[in-house]
Amino acid sequence: MAGEDLRLSLVVLAPLIGSILSYLLGRRVPKLAGIVASGAVLVSFVATVLLWREVSPTTAFTSSLSSWLTVSFQGAPFSLPIDLYFDSLSAVMCLIVTGVGFLIHVYSAGYMAHDKGIARFFAYLNLFIAAMLILVLGKSLPVIFIGWEGVGLCSYLLIGFWYTNTEYAKAGRKAFVMNRIGDVGFIVAMALLFTYCGTLDVVELSKESVLARVPAGLAFLVGISLFVAATGKSAQIPLFTWLPDAMAGPTPVSALIHAATMVTAGIYLMGRMHGVVELDPAVPAVILWVALATAAVAATTALAQNDIKKVLAYSTVSQLGFMFLAVGVGQYSVALCHVVTHAFFKACLFLSAGSVIHECHHEQDMRRMGGLAKKMPITAACYGVSTLAIAGICPFAGYYSKHAIFGAISTTTNPFLHPYIGLVGGLATAIAVCTAFYMARSFIMTFLGSYRGEGHPHEAPVVMTAPVAILGVLAVVGGFLFVHPITDFVTGPLPPTSVGHESGGLFGIFIGSLPGIFGIALAAYLFILAPREKDVLRAIFSPLERLFERKYYADELLDIAVVRPVDKLSGVAYRAIDQRIVEGSGGAVGSVVQAVGELTCRMTTGQVTTYVLLMFFAAAALFSVFSQVR
C-alpha cells in the first residue's frame, strides 16, 4: 500500500513543487521555467500511468495527505481529512489532465518563450495542474472544493496574465466572480449533505443507505445546488458568458484550462455525485434542458464570430452542453467519453489556433487570415482533422463519443424527459449540424483562400508543432482506441451504460456522420463554391446575426437582471442607509449623552472628559449604595 501512497501523493505534489521551482529558477534562467514545469507534469503523468495500470473498475487506492481538521464534540465529530482517492474515474481524469497538460506545457515553452513573465506563467500553470488533480482525486467534497477553488484562482490569474491590459484583468475578475456564484451552490450542497447525511465523503455519499437520509423535500435542492456549482465551472446557462471573455488569457491557457480540463470539472462532479444528482428525477431533467439550451445558444453564437478563439470558446460551451445532455439522461460514462475526445480535439484546435495567432503577430480576426494551409501545413492538417473530429465524422474521435450521446438520449427512462425524446434528439442533431458548419467555416476562413493579413506567417517551431501533431493523432484515433474501453473501465464509480457497442454497419456509420457531413458541405458550398448566396442568406438572417453576434444579449441581460440591481441596491444601501447611520448617529448619540447628562447632574459642558468622569462617578455612587445595603 505504501508504494501506491507514495505514487498517489507524487501525482499531486510533483506539479506543486514544480510550480515553486519553475518560478524560482525561471526568474534567473527563463528557459528553465518551461523545462522544469513540463518535467513536473511528466512525473505526474508517469505516476498516474503506473497507478492506472493497477486500478480496475472494482479497485481503488486511497492515500491520506493530511488530517486537516477534526472538531469533535459530544455530538457527531466533524472531520475533514485530506484524502486522495484513485479509482477508475479519477484515473481517466488524471490521465487527461496530466497527459494533455504535459503536451500543452511543452507547447507553452515555445509559445511563451519571449514573454517577460514566463516564470510566473509556468508557476501558475503548474499550480493549476496540481489544483486540478486535487479536484479529481479528492475523496471528500471539501477536498474537491479545495481543487475547485484552486483551479478557479489559477484560471483568474492566467486569464488576467497580461494584467497591464485592464480589459484582460476584468475578464479574469468576471470569470472568478461567476464561478463564485457556482461555488455558493457547492457550499450549499455540502451544508445540506453534512446536515442530513452526516458525512461529506464521496464514497459514503454514493451509498444508498446514506443518501436515503436526505429528506424527500430537499432532494431537489441538493441536486440542483450541485448542478449550480457545475454550471459555474462548466459554463452553462446562465453562467456561461465568462468563458468567451476568458479568451483574454494566453492561448495555451485557453487550451488547457478553458477547453480540455477545468471546464469539464462540472461533468466530473456530476458523475462523482451521481447518486445525489439522481435523488430527484427533476434534477436530471433540469440539467438536460439547460444543457440543450446552452448547446443551442453557444452553437448559434459561434456562427457569427470572427475571432478564431471566440469561435472555439463558444464551441467549447456548446460541446460542454453535449456532455451535460448525457449527464441529464443518466449516461455519465458517455459524458466522460466526450470529455476525453473533446480534450484531444479541442486542445488540438486551440493549440493550432495559437500557432496561427503566434505567426500572425497576435492577429485573432479570421477575416485577416486565410491561405495559411500553404504556409503552415502541419498546423492546417491538425486543425483540419480536429474539425472533422468535432463535426462527428467517422472514424474521427468525436464521432464515437457524439454518436454515443445521441444513442444515450434515446435510452432515457426519466419520467420528465421521456415524452420529449424526439424533440431533444432533433434539436441535438440541428446543433451538431451547426457545430460542423461553424468549424468548417473557421477552417476555410483561416487556412483556405488567400492570405488577407499583413504578417509573414510560416510554420511554428517544432516545440509547438510536435504537441499539436500528437494531439492531432489522438483526435483521429482517440475514438476507437479509448471510447469503448473507457465506458467499461469506469463502470465501478459510474453506473454502467446502456448504450451498446454496435456500430450499425456502414450505413449506420454514414447516418451517424450525416449531420457533420451536411454541416461541412454547407459551409464549403457557401464559403467556397457560392459566396454570393452566403450574402443572400446573410441578408435574410441579418436580425438573427446580430442576436448571435451578441450571444443573445446574455451579458446585457445579466447586467440588467443582476449586476445593475445589485449595484443600485448597494448605492442605495450606502447613500440612503449607511450615510444616515454614520452621519446621523453622531447627533443621536450626542443627544442621548446630553439627556443622560442633564438628567443626572445638569452640568453639561459638552466636553468629552465630563462624560468620562460622569461615568466613573456614577459607578462610584452605585457602589456606595451597595456597600450600604451590605
* Site membership for other proteins, residue 596 (CB under 8 A): yes
CB distance 396 to 389 below 8 Å:
yes
Using the rule CB under 8 A, give the single segment among 14-22, 301-309, 327-335, 574-582 that binds other proteins.
574-582
Chain position carrying cell 468622569: 613
Using the rule CB under 8 A, give the single segment among 90-98, 358-366, 458-466, 575-583 that binds other proteins.
575-583
* Site membership for other proteins, residue 629 (CB under 8 A): yes
Instruction: For the beta carbon of residue 510, count every other beta carbon within 10 angstroms.
Output: 12
Angle at 467 between CA 441 and CA 113, to 5 degrees: 100
* Site membership for other proteins, residue 571 (CB under 8 A): yes
Residue 146: exposure state from Cβ atoms within 10 A (0-12, 13-18, ≥19) = middle
Using the rule CB under 8 A, give the single segment among 274-282, 330-338, 484-492, 607-615 that binds other proteins.
607-615
Cis before 395 (ω within 30)? yes
3-class SS of residue 80: strand
Residue 502's closest CA among 395, 394, 404?
404
Whole-number Å distance between alpha carbons of 204 and 83: 13
Minimal distance in Å, beta carbon 567 to other proteins? 7
Whole-number Å distance between alpha carbons of 89 and 364: 37
Cβ distance to other proteins smaller for residue 257 or 334: 257
- For 502, the grid coordinates are 454496435
Minimal distance in Å, beta carbon 137 to other proteins? 15
* Site membership for other proteins, residue 74 (CB under 8 A): yes
Cβ distance to other proteins smaller for residue 542 or 585: 585
b/e sequence 245-283, b meaning 16+ C-beta within 10 Å: bbbbbbbbbbbbbbbbbbbbbbbbbbbbbbbbbbbbbeb
Cross-strand partners of 61: 86
* Site membership for other proteins, residue 598 (CB under 8 A): no
Binder among 540, 578, 600, 613 for other proteins (CB under 8 A): 578
- For 1, the grid coordinates are 500500500
Binding mask 469-498 for other proteins (x = CB under 8 A): ------------------------------
For residue 251, give Cα distances in angstroms to 105, 158, 246, 309, 387: 12, 10, 10, 8, 18
* Site membership for other proteins, residue 278 (CB under 8 A): no
Cis before 495 (ω within 30)? no
* Site membership for other proteins, residue 567 (CB under 8 A): yes
Using the rule CB under 8 A, give the single segment among 55-63, 156-164, 378-386, 551-559 that binds other proteins.
156-164
Minimal distance in Å, beta carbon 622 to other proteins? 6
For residue 431, give Cα distances in angstroms to 322, 406, 416, 512, 519: 9, 12, 22, 14, 10
Binder among 212, 481, 592, 613 for other proteins (CB under 8 A): 592
* Site membership for other proteins, residue 72 (CB under 8 A): yes
Binder among 26, 160, 249, 516 for other proteins (CB under 8 A): 160
Binder among 570, 600, 613, 617 for other proteins (CB under 8 A): 570
Beta pairing, strands 78-86 & 61-71: antiparallel
* Site membership for other proteins, residue 615 (CB under 8 A): yes
Minimal distance in Å, beta carbon 454 to other proteins? 25
Cβ distance to other proteins smaller for residue 200 or 417: 200
* Site membership for other proteins, residue 27 (CB under 8 A): no
Angle at 403 between CA 397 and CA 405, to 5 degrees: 110
Residue 568 corresponds to which amino acid? K
Cβ distance to other proteins smaller for residue 71 or 539: 71
Cβ distance to other proteins smaller for residue 461 or 571: 571
Cβ distance to other proteins smaller for residue 56 or 591: 591
* Site membership for other proteins, residue 150 (CB under 8 A): yes
For residue 588, give Cα distances in angstroms to 31, 575, 614: 66, 18, 19
* Site membership for other proteins, residue 190 (CB under 8 A): yes
Q: How many residues sit in the footprint of other proteins (CB under 8 A)?
A: 69
Binder among 18, 34, 142, 354 for other proteins (CB under 8 A): 142
Give residues 501-520 in contact with other proteins (rule: CB under 8 A). Answer: none
Give residues 193-232 in contact with other proteins (rule: CB under 8 A). Answer: 194-195
| Alpha-helical segments (H) within 450-530 | 462-489, 505-524
Task: Give residues in contact with other proteins (CB under 8 A).
Answer: 66-75, 78, 142, 145-146, 149-150, 153, 156, 160, 163-166, 169-170, 173, 176-177, 180-181, 183-184, 187-188, 190-192, 194-195, 566-567, 569-571, 573-574, 577-578, 581-582, 584-586, 589-590, 592-593, 596, 608, 611-612, 615, 619, 622-623, 626-627, 629-630
